[in-house]
Structure 1
Amino acid sequence: MKVITHLKNLLPKKKKTQAIMTVPENTELENERLYEKILQNLKNQRAPLSIKFGHSPSPYVSMLLDIDVNRKFIIIDEINNEEGHRQMCMSEPFTLSGRDNGIFVLFQSKIIDFGTIHGISFYRLPYPRHIEYLQRRVTPRLAIPLEIAMHVDFLLPGQPYVRTNIVDISLSGLRFSISRNVKSILENVIKIDHCRLITPFASPQEFTLEIKHCRYELNKQQTIVGCQFVDMDNVGLKFLSSLINRLQQYSLSTP
C-alpha cells in the first residue's frame, strides 16, 4: 500500500548500534511467533479493532494497517471521531481488542507518534509485548437432534441408576439433562467414573466425566450438567470422532 510505505518513510530511522544478543527462552519465542500470526490475521481479515481509553464511556473503532516485526511497531487507521483522535494524539494509554477467527484478542498500548497524509491520520504503536487471547471452546459443540436418542448412564451415591439425555457434545465434553432436581447432589461430585455413552450409531462406550457446571431449570423441571471428558484414551477419542462425524453428516443430510 503506497500510503503506508510513504508513512513508514516519514518515521525516524533506527540508528545502528552494537548490542549483545540474547536468545529468548523457547516459550518466549513461541509467544512471539503466535503474536505475529495473530496480528497478521487481524490485518489480513481487516478486522475491526475496538479502542477503549480508560475514562471513555464507549470504545472507538480502528483497523490494523501494517506490521513491522523488525522495527517493532504496528500502524493502525485513524479514529473517525474528533475526541478519540484528540485522546490518541495526547498519548493516552488504551486497550485494543478484536477477534481473530472468533478468538478474542486484547492488548494494552500507547501511541508513539502519528502522521497525516491527504488529510487522513495514521497512528504508530509499539509492537505488543503481550497479547491476551481467549477461545472458549477448542472444538465445536454439536446439538443433538430431538429424533436421535443419545444418553449417558451412571451411578450416583445413594441414588438409583441415572439415565440422562445428551443435549450437545464435542470432542472435549458434553452437556446432558436429568428430568429431576439433582443439583444439590451433583454440586458435591467432581468426577463421575464409568459413564456409559449410548448412541444409535455404535456400541456403548465408557468415559470418565468431570463436572464443570450444574443448574436446575425450574420451568422445565430438569437439571442441566456440563462435563468435560478426562483420562481419555485413543479408543475413546476414536469413538467420539466417529460419533461427531456421523452427527455432522446427519445434520447436513436433514432439511
Structure 2
Amino acid sequence: MPKQGSIPSFFLSGRHRQHSLIFTERLLQSMVREKSPLLVFFETHIHLVYSSMVLGADRNDNSLLLDPLNPEEGNAHLVPGHSLFLHGRSSGIETGFRARIRGISEISSGRAILLEFPYETYHCQRRETLRVPLPIDLPPIRISTRSGHQELARLADLGAMGMRLLVGARDENGLPQRAFREDQIVLLPGIDLGTLSLPAMTAKVVHLEQAGFESGLPVLSLGLRFLDLSEEISESLATYVMKKDVERLLMARDEHLA
C-alpha cells in the first residue's frame, strides 16, 4: 500500500545538487544494474509515496523508464507534464531525481512509466557509504578468523568505513563455505594499495551473500566494517576513496567525449 511521506530534507539543500548529465546517467544505470528499490513522490496535491524501480535511462533520448507504480492505482495519478521526485540509492549512496512525466509506455516486458530525463539530481555522498572498486590485478590477501581458519580473499571495493572481499563459496573439500558468518570478527593483514598502505586490523562481517562465479567457481561476497582504525588512517582512507571516485567520474566523462 502507498504511504504518506515527504521528500528527505537533505535533498532540499543545494549543497547536494549535481550538474553533470553524464553523472546523472551513470547513477541511473547503476540503479538499473543493482535493481535497487525507488520511492516515488508526487509533487502535486497528492501526498502518497509509491515504490518502483528504474528500468532504463537514456539522456540522448531524453527518457527514463520506471516499473509501473505499486499498487497499480498509483498510475492513475500520472499527469503528463507534472514532476515526480525519485529517491533511491546508487552504490549505497542516497540519490534523488526530479523528472517530468511523459506517460505510460509499452515495452517488451509489459508496461512502464515513461519520464523525461531528470532535470535535477541530488547525490548525498556520505563518507561512510561511498565505495570505489579496487583494481582486479591487486594480489589477494589472506584473512583469518579468531578460531585460526585462514582463507585467500580478493579485494573487491573499498569505502572509508569498510570494504568488500570475495572468497570461495566452497572449502577445500568442495563443501559449502561455513567459516564465515554475519557479526563475525576477522583479522586483516596489511594491504598495499599503491598510494595508500593500510595496517593490519580487525573487521566485522556485516554482509554475506552469494556473488556469482569467478573462473567457473562460485564465490561469496564478504562486506566488512573496520573496527580499529586510527584517526590518521581514517582520514587518509576517506581522502583516498573520494579521490578515486572523482577519477572514475572523470574517466567516464572522457570515455563519453572520445
| Common fold by TM > 0.5 | no
Q: Considering only CA atoms, is the larger Rg found in Structure 1 or Structure 2?
A: 1
TM-score, reference length from structure 1: 0.42
The structure with the greater share of residues assigned to strand is 2
Larger relative contact order (CA 8 Å, sep ≥ 6): 2
